Structure 1
Amino acid sequence: MVRWTWSTRVMCAAIAVTGLACVPAPAAADLSAPPGLDFARALGTPALPGIYGPETAVVVLGYGLTPEGTMREELVRRLRAGLAQAVFAPWSPIIVTGGNPRAGLSEADVMADWLVAAGVDESRVLRESEADSTVANARNTATMLAERDLSSVVLVTSEDHIARARGAFADAGVLVVGDLTPDRAQWDGVPLHIGDFGPAASAG
């Protein structure tokens, strides 16, 4: 099992946006991240995701599936942005929220499967598969946060949806500490796969 150091995680995230593969060499685990370090500023790329700790969840909002239960391109774009954010916040759980089932699959189910296939440890991905609206996304996520003693979220959704989403989450009493959209990330077309990744990847 590859042990990901903090510097390797950040460098792989930066390399990934160029479209190159990132295969780290085995190394000792290093979970000490410099507090408050702004890698976006350091790398000169304002659209890079923020760095957050385990008390903050990355929340990716769903988007309507096709009648066959497959993802539309906009949902794939949200997931790519969410995956990039997950790389920069390796200790944050990822909540995928969305119900509206099609062909027996909810948005959350399809989103979770995509993230796991992209290399995120399955235990890191939390499914909220009942919401049928942005308001329900927020309320149901608030319940999940309270159950797990999580204090804040980073929202990932489309650019034209982020303001409404932030409002809904604020109304639900959720502290939103950041957000990311595919339009600002600029790397939604990059084939980003990170292999084994997440807290479980540093064990054993």
Structure 2
Amino acid sequence: MSRGEAFARLSPVRTDNKPAKASPVFTLASVLCLLLLSGCGGNPGLLNVPFDPGGRSLNSLAAEVAPEIAGQYIAFVSERQQRQNIYLYDFQTRHLVDIPGLNAIDSIASDPDVSADGRYIVFAAIRQGKSGIYFYDRQTRQLRNLTADLPAEVRNPTLSADGNTIAFESSANGQWDILVYDRSGQPLDVPLNPQ
């Protein structure tokens, strides 16, 4: 056997133009990995999310890589109807939760987080070319830009379990720093050297 033939036998690249088949070992490893990951963070089990009333899956081609799970809720981004929007799913009722006034036609939303009781949602969005951190109250159906007066790019918000504190990244000082705000949009003074 020539050196080229030996390499061709070991090479994963097909030369016969036939579609490659997934190996049984790779398929089994993928399924086991999925089962292990679905059991992380609490009660083990396989996540089986039903279709929405329109017959579409909760997933899409452009979906949030790391959805936020809090209590019985999961907040995620999905691109539907040519828009990237925030969705909230309730595990107990097994339905999407109505969040009127949260998503806008002129925005690109990302990185949602939800309070443990599902009342508050915080997310990053780009509207009219400017990034902002937005805070939504499901009870009052009000949406506020917490960073409207901050002359900087912002990203990656996270919300405390009680919905009172929001931390996010800001480029106000020419580098990415962590800022902490309360839910009314006021910056909180966080000591650099806590004792």
Same fold (TM over 0.5): no
Structure of higher RCO (CA pairs closer than 8 Å, 6+ residues apart):
1
Q: Normalising by structure 1, what TM-score?
A: 0.24
